[in-house]
Copies of this chain bind each other. A is one copy, B any other.
Amino acid sequence: MSEMATLKTLAQQLGVSISTVSRALKNHPRIGLKTKKSVWELAKKMDYQPNRMALNLLGKRSNTIGIIVPKIGYNIYSMAITGIEDVAIEAGFNIMICQSNESLTREISNVHDLLASQADGIIVSLAAETNNYEHFVKILQKEVPLVFFNRVIKNLPSSRVYVDNYQAARSAVDHLAQQGCRKIAFLGGPDFLYISNERFLGFREGLFANDIEMCHDMVVHMEFGQETAKQRMQVLLQNTPRPDGLFAVSDTLAIGAMLAIKEFGMKIPDDIAVVGFNNDPVCQLLSPTLSSIDQNPYAMGRMAAILCLKQLDNLQERENEINLPTKLVVRESSEKFRSTSSPSDSRSVW
């Protein structure tokens, strides 16, 4: 790398002291106008940029906030990251993104990397595998602000941003019941994952409220992954009774299930109606288009970043909890009686 201009360089060339240059650059009141001018000019000419590492060392801040997500390729995470980024940049922070790849081991090493890099705050959405929270306790011990979003942990003194998963699931089941479904299956993530469980509770309550009996072998918990979902659905389709409705806790799972259903020769939504979760853009491209619950990941990311910065300013602000609204977007995959009055491709129910 070419020798960067430093305060020292500038000072020598101008025959003044380092501190004068420093002050001139920051428009300090008691610096001579002509001195200021000449400093400014030389700085521009030499393209001087203050050395961030020195600043950071001095300020004991890295001005970086770390992010850990399962995979940046999942639409909700790329959207959430964009939200975090927008807030962070505006506040003069950089972001450092890590992918856990749904692996606990990797997530632990992500945490260590971020801590070693002196991240000023850490924002996390859990890996599917994560059933052990020691690495997060470490963050807390170091008093580094910690915010969870989407896949959150409840019993840790940290902030959380997520949606009312219980209500969202209930609304999905209500909708399926309205479509005439009486045997509704549930495709969920690992059962120790809080949000998956909340969605299950909402599901169960939905069945109850609609006088539908819950059939235990229609409730499936698994790792996330389209292929796994497909296999699990294939099994469900062999069982008797066969489901006539399906609620999946992610669009990826719903898609895997749809593939299985099609291969099995059944029609969606006529034989089985399907509702997913996340409202991934791909939902609109499927045939049939997939009904799903939208949770506005961009807003979730923004909120998470805001809470993180708040903690940085004021340690008291630890442990905030924000609930964002969801909306069920109804599309072809769950609409057995096609509404004749609906002009657009989907209707939204808040």
Contacts and interface: CB of A to CB of B under 8 A. Distances in A.
Interface residues of A, number: 45
B85 A99 contact: yes
A349 interface: no
A52 B285 contact: no
A49 interface: yes
A287 interface: yes
A235 interface: no
A94 B113 contact: yes
A244 B220 CA distance: 46
A4 B51 CA distance: 23
A122 to B, nearest CB: 12
Interface in A116-159: 116-118, 120, 138, 141-144
A116 B56 CA distance: 12
B62 A71 contact: no
B81 A72 contact: yes
B94 A96 contact: yes
Contact of A1 (B2, B47, B85, B144): B144
B73 A116 contact: no
A171 to B, nearest CB: 25
Contact of A117 (B72, B85, B94, B113): B94
12 contacts: A1-B120, A2-B142, A47-B138, A52-B62, A52-B118, A53-B118, A73-B82, A82-B99, A94-B96, A255-B285, A282-B282, A285-B286
Interface of A: 1-2, 4, 47, 49-54, 56-57, 60, 62, 71-73, 75, 78-79, 81-82, 85, 89, 94-97, 99, 113, 115-118, 120, 138, 141-144, 255, 282, 285-287
